C-alpha cells in the first residue's frame, strides 16, 4: 500500500474501534448505547501500532408522531422532539506486539453533550395520568465512558477485525428526567467488520455487523432487549486528499424489553438510514490528519424517533510506533 493510502487508512481506521453512546433506537429512553453510523469507511481496518486521538461531534434531530409512545426515565412520553449535540473523544493505543497474528487495539471513549427533549407526559413513574402536561428538559451531561478493544488482520487489499465495547455506567445519569446521555446500565457490544481497499483505483468497500447485550437499569427496573446493527460504506478517493462516498445503517431489536419498568411491553425497534460522506486528508507538521463529515437520513422506523444524524470527525496519530 502506498504511503498516502497508508496514512489515510491509519486515521480512518480509528472508526473500526467503536460506535458509542447513541442516536435514538427502540429501547429504554428510545436510545441504545451503540451509536449507529459510528462505523463506516475503513471499518475493518486496525491502524499501525501507535497512539491515536479522534474527536467526533455528533448531532441528531428527531421526532415521534402524536400517535406513538416512548418510555423515558420511568415516564411514558408522546409527541416527542429531540435535539442532541455531543462530543465524543476517543483515545486508542494499538500495541506494537502482534496477538494471534493480528494487531490489538485498546481504547477509551468519553462522551459529553447537551440533549434537549420536549414531550407530552402521558404517564409518570408514580402511575398518575397527567395527559396534556408538556415538558422540556435540557442539560449539559457527562455520559458513560466506553472501553473498546479490537483485533485486526490484513491480507493484500483485505482488512478485517473483531471488536468489543463495554459501557461503564458511571456517567451523570439524571434520575426521572427525560434528557440523558448516561444509561445507568452495563452493556456490551460484540462486532466484526471487513474492508476491501484498492489503493490503486481509490475504491473502498466496508461493512460491520454487531450485537448489543444490555443489562438492567435498576432505577427504572427496565431491561433493554438484545439489538442487532449493520453498517456499510462505499467510498472513492478522487484525489490523495479528497474522498466521497455513500454510507448507511440498519438496526433491529431482536429480543423485547422486559422488567417492571417496561410498561410498553417488548417495544422492539427498527430503523434503516442512508446518507453520504465527504472527507479531506492533509498533513500538519508531518502528522497525517483526517477530517470527515457524514449525514444520515432515517426511514422505515418502528418504536423510536425518526430524524437526521450527522457526524463531524477529526482523527490523527499522536505517536506512531516504529
pLDDT band for position 3 (50/70/90)?
Answer: very low
pLDDT band for position 2 (50/70/90)?
Answer: very low
Query: Which cell is 202 given?
Result: 481509490
The mean per-residue pLDDT over the stretch 2-28 comes to: 50
**For residue 238, is pLDDT > 80?**
yes
Look at 207 and 179; give whichever has higher pLDDT: 207
pLDDT band for position 69 (50/70/90)?
Answer: confident
pLDDT value of position 103:
96
pLDDT digits (tens, 9 = 90+) for 80-103: 888 999 999 999 999 999 999 999
Domain boundaries, the chain: 3-309
pTM: 0.89
The mean per-residue pLDDT over the stretch 196-209 comes to: 96
Query: What does the alpha-carbon distance between residue 321 and residue 112 come to, in Å, rounded to a whole number?
Result: 30
**For residue 13, is pLDDT > 90?**
no
**For residue 122, is pLDDT > 90?**
no
**For residue 129, is pLDDT > 60?**
no
pLDDT digits (tens, 9 = 90+) for 259-307: 988 888 888 889 999 999 999 999 998 889 999 999 999 999 988 889 9
Query: What does the alpha-carbon distance between residue 15 and residue 78 come to, in Å, rounded to a whole number?
Result: 35
3-309 belongs to CATH 2.40.128: yes
Amino acid at each position: 500500500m502506498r504511503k498516502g493510502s497508508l496514512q489515510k487508512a491509519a486515521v480512518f481506521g480509528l472508526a473500526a474501534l467503536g460506535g458509542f453512546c447513541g442516536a435514538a433506537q427502540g429501547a429504554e429512553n428510545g436510545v441504545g448505547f451503540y451509536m449507529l453510523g459510528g462505523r463506516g469507511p475503513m471499518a475493518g481496518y486496525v491502524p499501525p501500532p501507535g497512539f491515536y486521538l479522534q474527536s467526533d461531534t455528533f448531532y441528531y434531530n428527531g421526532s415521534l408522531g402524536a400517535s406513538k409512545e416512548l418510555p423515558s426515565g420511568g415516564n411514558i412520553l408522546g409527541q416527542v422532539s429531540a435535539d442532541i449535540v455531543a462530543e465524543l473523544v476517543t483515545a486508542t493505543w494499538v500495541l506494537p506486539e502482534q496477538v494471534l497474528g493480528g494487531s490489538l487495539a485498546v481504547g477509551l471513549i468519553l462522551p459529553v453533550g447537551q440533549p434537549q427533549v420536549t414531550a407530552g407526559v402521558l404517564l409518570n413513574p408514580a402511575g398518575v395520568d397527567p395527559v396534556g402536561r408538556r415538558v422540556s428538559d435540557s442539560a449539559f451531561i457527562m455520559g458513560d465512558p466506553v472501553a473498546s478493544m479490537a483485533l485486526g488482520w490484513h491480507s493484500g487489499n483485505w482488512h478485517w477485525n473483531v471488536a468489543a465495547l463495554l459501557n461503564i455506567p458511571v456517567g451523570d445519569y439524571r434520575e426521572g428526567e427525560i434528557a440523558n446521555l448516561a444509561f445507568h446500565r452495563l452493556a456490551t457490544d460484540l462486532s466484526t467488520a471487513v474492508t476491501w481497499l484498492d489503493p490503486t483505483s481509490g475504491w473502498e468497500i466496508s461493512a460491520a455487523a454487531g450485537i448489543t447485550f444490555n443489562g438492567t437499569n435498576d432505577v427504572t427496573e427496565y431491561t433493554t432487549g438484545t439489538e442487532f446493527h449493520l453498517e456499510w460504506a462505499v467510498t472513492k478517493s478522487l484525489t490523495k486528499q479528497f474522498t466521497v462516498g455513500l454510507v448507511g445503517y440498519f438496526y433491529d431489536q431482536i429480543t423485547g424489553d422486559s422488567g417492571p419498568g417496561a410498561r410498553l411491553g417488548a417495544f422492539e425497534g427498527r430503523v434503516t438510514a442512508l446518507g453520504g460522506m465527504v472527507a479531506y486528508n492533509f498533513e500538519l507538521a508531518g502528522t497525517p490528519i483526517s477530517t470527515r463529515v457524514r449525514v444520515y437520513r432515517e426511514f422505515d422506523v418502528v418504536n423510536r424517533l425518526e430524524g437526521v444524524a450527522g457526524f463531524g470527525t477529526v482523527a490523527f496519530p499522536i505517536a506512531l510506533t516504529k
